[in-house]
Amino acid sequence: MGKQFFGTDGIRGRTNQGAMTAATAMKVGQAAGTRFLRGTHRHRAVIGKDTRLSGYMLENAMVAGFTSVGMDVVLLGPMPTPAVALLTRELRADVGVMISASHNPYEDNGIKLFGPDGFKLSDEDELAIEAMLMGGDLGLAASPEIGRARRVDDARGRYIHAVKASLPSTVRLDGLKIAVDCANGAAYQVAPSAFWELGAEIVAVGVSPNGKNINDRCGSTHVELLQETVVSSGADIGIALDGDADRLIVVDEKGQTVDGDQIMALIGSQLAMRGELRGGGVVATVMSNLGLERYLNGQGLSLERTAVGDRHVLERMRAGGFNVGGEQSGHMILLDHATTGDGTVAALQVLSALVQSGKRASELLHLFDPVPQLLRNVRFGGGKPLETDSVRAAIADAEASLDGRGRLVIRPSGTEPVIRVMAEGDDAGEVEAAVASICHAVEKAAA
């Protein structure tokens, strides 16, 4: 049976519409609380959020849900997604919640759930929670057993300490000038503080959230602000995070963008040289550039590909014993240090390599030449355009035109009503023609 609420990364949508209402959030708290009431101990949920206006509404609704089934709640306030995963474990909580729609605009929001081990929930847990949302027993607590809620003051310090501990004690960032764009999101306090405490000079942008400016022309999905800041300030490197700080995009000292593929190439090869890379390679998705695969193969390493989504990457990493994985879009999962994507931890691995190499960022971070790759999104209002004969024919024709010199990835988004059409190959003209023909067919089918 398919899921009605959970998508590729929790529950997400436009606030006060569909599933993303206060009423549903309260039920999610009740259902998740009921699911994780195990044993006779006093149960605990941890809740963090990003800086969206709707975070207050959803946070309070989820507190009502958890406490109504007998769970105490610890409120972290604005904190990165990986901080919630970390503190769920450290505080011995039974369930963790991050209220965020990641890189989406402020009008959207979402609910990400973590188990007591700090990992995102299994399909089994999500389906069990969905069954309760659809009318199952929510197990309301007797009056004396209703939970309590409290805010903690040391959450920020705990996470900063853990982030800094991901570096060897001998590595400092003294002498580095770092531009940091926190997307007016969850890391607006912790990321600049962590880098500064390690000795760097910080030029911070995207650190003035007002509830509505998260990801607004800033952060990892809009790097123009960071590029301008790096060049104008003379920074050695730029670090861009997204709204919940599980993504990382880097800008070198020349203002050139460095995506997740180059970051994975650097971190993977650095760990391999030190004998610390597990699994014999790196895990990435079908969207990662063929250039990354060729580079890793040249280093005697493999590239394991999964379906799009950091959840799929993480599943393959855990099954195959890998410790480095991620996505071209900037999700970086380093299992030696975190149970989910952590842009700040990944940034520190890049900064450590920069310090130890003595190279400029432009030299260190461009390890391979990507093959021409083009991605376009086609918005549609309903239906299943990928199942129409005309779109299938266009895809078949495009595959034939590439004739083994490239590849296609066409898929519906898991978070918004768009079809993502990607092609890559050694000939840029063939790639552009293939994408254009498929997009045209999808637009006609969706009209």
Look at strands 332-334 and 373-379 and give their pairing: unpaired
Is 102 flagged in the annotation as binding?
A: yes
Q: How far apart are CA 329 and CA 308, in angstroms?
A: 10
Q: Are residues 393 and 299 in the same domain?
A: no
Q: Are residues 348 and 441 in the same domain?
A: no
Q: Are residues 358 and 377 in the same domain?
A: no
Q: Are residues 300 and 401 in the same domain?
A: no
Q: Are residues 106 and 16 in the same domain?
A: yes
283 near 313, Cβ under 8 Å? yes
Spell out the residues 6+ positions from residue 387 whose beta carbon is closer than 8 angstroms to its own: none
22 inside domain? yes
32 near 69, Cβ under 8 Å? no
Tens place of pLDDT per residue across the chain (447 aa):
568 899 878 999 999 999 999 999 999 999 999 999 988 899 999 999 999 999 999 999 999 999 999 999 999 999 999 999 999 999 999 999 999 999 999 999 999 999 999 999 999 999 999 999 998 778 899 999 999 999 999 999 999 999 999 998 889 999 999 999 999 999 999 999 999 999 999 999 999 999 999 999 999 999 999 999 999 999 999 999 999 999 999 999 999 999 999 999 999 999 999 999 999 999 999 999 999 999 999 999 999 999 988 899 999 999 999 999 999 999 999 999 999 999 999 999 999 999 999 999 999 999 999 999 999 999 988 788 898 999 999 999 999 998 878 889 998 886 678 999 999 999 999 999 999 999 999 998 887
Helix residue spans in 333-427 (DSSP H): 343-357, 361-364, 389-402
Q: Are residues 249 and 184 in the same domain?
A: yes
pLDDT at 159: 98
Element (H, E) at 298: helix 290-298
Q: How far apart are CA 100 and CA 246, in angstroms?
A: 11
163 inside domain? no
Q: Are residues 280 and 422 in the same domain?
A: no
5 inside domain? no
57 inside domain? yes
169 inside domain? no
Is 174 flagged in the annotation as binding?
A: no
Q: Are residues 359 and 211 in the same domain?
A: yes
| Structural domain total, the chain | 3
pLDDT at 77: 97
Structure tokens at 215: 């990801």
Region label for 93, one of left (φ > 0), alpha (ψ between -120 and 50) or beta (otherwise): beta
Instruction: Please give the torsion angle defined by the CA atoms of residues 95, 100, 102 and 106, in that order, rounded to the nearest 10 degrees.
Output: 180
What CATH number did the domain enclosing 234 receive? 3.40.120.10
Neighbours of 64 (CB within 10 A): 18
pLDDT at 415: 67
Give the burial class of 50: count Cβ atoms within 10 A of its Cβ; 0-12 exposed, 13-18 middle, 19 or more buried.
buried
Q: Are residues 23 and 108 in the same domain?
A: yes
Is 246 flagged in the annotation as binding?
A: yes
191 inside domain? yes
165 inside domain? no
Is 342 flagged in the annotation as binding?
A: no
Give the burial class of 399: count Cβ atoms within 10 A of its Cβ; 0-12 exposed, 13-18 middle, 19 or more buried.
middle
Phi, psi angles (nearest 5°) of residue 441: -65, -40
Q: How far apart are CA 192 and CA 201, in angstroms?
A: 9
Q: Are residues 289 and 257 in the same domain?
A: yes
Give the three-state DSSP class for 436.
helix
pLDDT at 447: 74
Domain stops at, among 344, 364, 384? 364
Q: Are residues 204 and 322 in the same domain?
A: yes
Give the burial class of 17: count Cβ atoms within 10 A of its Cβ; 0-12 exposed, 13-18 middle, 19 or more buried.
exposed
Maximal C-alpha separation, the chain: 70
> In which domain, by residue range, is 51 found?
11-153
Q: Are residues 184 and 313 in the same domain?
A: yes
Residues acting as catalytic residues: 102
142: which strand partners? none
160 inside domain? no
Long-range contacts, stretch 413-418, CB < 8 angstroms, 24+ apart: 413/377, 414/7, 414/8, 414/9, 414/308, 414/309, 415/7, 415/8, 415/9, 415/12, 415/104, 416/104, 417/379, 417/380, 417/381, 417/382, 418/377, 418/378, 418/379, 418/380
Structure tokens at 305: 């590909």
What CATH number did the domain enclosing 415 receive? 3.30.310.50
Q: How far apart are CA 284 and CA 368, in angstroms?
A: 16
Q: How far apart are CA 435 and CA 423, in angstroms?
A: 6
